[in-house]
Amino acid sequence: MELENEEELSVEEMKEIVEKLDEKIGEYDEKIETCEVGSERKKIRSERKLSKQARKQLIDFITRKQKYQSDMELFGERNSYSKTDPDATFMRMKDDYMKNGQLKAGYNVQLATEGQYALAYDVFPNPTDTRTLIPFLNTIEESFFKLPDYIVADAGYGSEQNYEDIIQKRNRTPLITYNQYRKEKKKKHKNNAFHVDNWEYNEEEDFYQCPNGRNVSFRYYSKRKDRYGFTREFKVYECEDCLGCPLRHLCTKAKEGNNRKIYINEKWESQKEYVRTKLSDEKTGEIYGKRKIDVEPAFGFLKANLGFTRFSVRGKEKVKNELGFAFMAVNLRKYTAMNIIQTHEYRNNPKKNGSNHLFLVIGTIFHLFWLVMSQPLVNCIGFSPVGCPIRFQYSLHQKRLTSQPRSEPGT
């Protein structure tokens, strides 16, 4: 048969073919019944065999296609799901005792805290930090409270899309580093003559000067769209002539005959500059510096003190409920401890308890919880309310949440 079109056959089309084949097979059956010559019957039977085989194969295709379709619906934007809990996604966990990068079914939990109190949380199926920030901020705004002035998070959340969302859409200040933030401050980076950050830039004529003294001039604009539909715009610069350059092997991996090209994303560069300025500012820098002491303890209490290391339920909604109770316990524990401390010798010295309740701190914890045999990864972010110090934290935690009943060692 020749293909009439390149598109895959739909289930309905395949069912139609099966019906046609049934008719054909029926015709053969009739012929066999009415035929009285043995050799003729044998010939018809062998002809019928082909139709029967095709029919069998098509039915198999239909069953599989239907299964794939329902699987794809379950996947959604994910690339996997757990058979025992379709809401859980397979993720690479922080703890990898086997050192083989195995994936485990888990959830990505984000928590907002202040003064080590859990204030808002949500559960996400995607393990990528950068892609959970915006939906979590939406959740906070829709279901919890107004966002604070500053949004503090660590490098895992620093992306052009997140900065743009926080600055332009929400009119807040992101105190979020980006992946290269620490690296850029290192001597090695600053002394790297081949990194464009260290090249001289001529603003009037829009060109850089490379270590060999040649001009790397603007050529054209280029756009890149990521798989989630976010578009980045780059200015592409190209060296006038890299041919015969003695530094070439140190400078570029471009194919022989091609000149070195550099891609500059102006928006990203200005966002990075903005963040650097904010982080070097005394007030906002201090806020960012405090982020570690706010969100981490909430998870510390949850795991180490309450022993909540695995989920005991399956399904996103149930997991959310269980988490809600767990975080409530964390808060009550913290509140009780605070009350006890305040009624004793620390009453007049609230700083000693590590938390200042005069302001609200919201933190986000990004957490991958294992479903059955999994260990989670936790990232924390923190905020602070309008006019108050804020912290947005990101950290990695280990956690075991399982759907299996807990048992004592050795039992």
Q: How far is the CB of 73 from ligand SF4 (least distance, A)?
A: 50
153 within 8 A of 176, measured Cβ to Cβ: yes
262 near ligand SF4, judged by CB under 6 A: no
At residue 396's C-alpha, the angle toward residues 327 and 115, to 5°, is 45
Minimum CB distance to ligand SF4 smaller for 241 or for 281? 241
Return the SS3 of 400. Answer: coil
Query: What percentage of the chain's residues is helix, strand, coil (to nearest 5)?
Result: 45, 20, 40
Q: How far is the CB of 262 from ligand SF4 (least distance, A)?
A: 9
105 near ligand SF4, judged by CB under 6 A: no
* Options 260, 303, 334, 391; binder of ligand SF4; rule CB under 6 A: 260
Size of the site for ligand SF4 (CB under 6 A): 13
Residues in the chain, total: 411
Minimum CB distance to ligand SF4 smaller for 225 or for 249? 249
Mode of pairing for the β-strands spanning 103-114 and 378-384:
parallel
Rounded Cα distance between 38 and 158, Å, is 79
Classify residue 257 by burial, with Cβ atoms within 10 Å: 0-12, 13-18, 19+. Answer: exposed
Minimum CB distance to ligand SF4 smaller for 217 or for 356? 217
Q: How far is the CB of 235 from ligand SF4 (least distance, A)?
A: 16
Minimum CB distance to ligand SF4 smaller for 11 or for 247? 247
Rounded Cα distance between 108 and 120, Å, is 14
Q: How far is the CB of 142 from ligand SF4 (least distance, A)?
A: 50
Rounded Cα distance between 390 and 98, Å, is 38
Q: Which of residues 199-258 bind ligand SF4 (CB under 6 A)?
A: 210-212, 214, 216, 239, 242, 245, 247-248, 251-252
47 within 8 A of 80, measured Cβ to Cβ: no
Backbone φ and ψ for 33, nearest 5 degrees, come out as -65, -40
Q: How far is the CB of 251 from ligand SF4 (least distance, A)?
A: 3
Q: Which residues bind ligand SF4 (CB under 6 A)?
A: 210-212, 214, 216, 239, 242, 245, 247-248, 251-252, 260
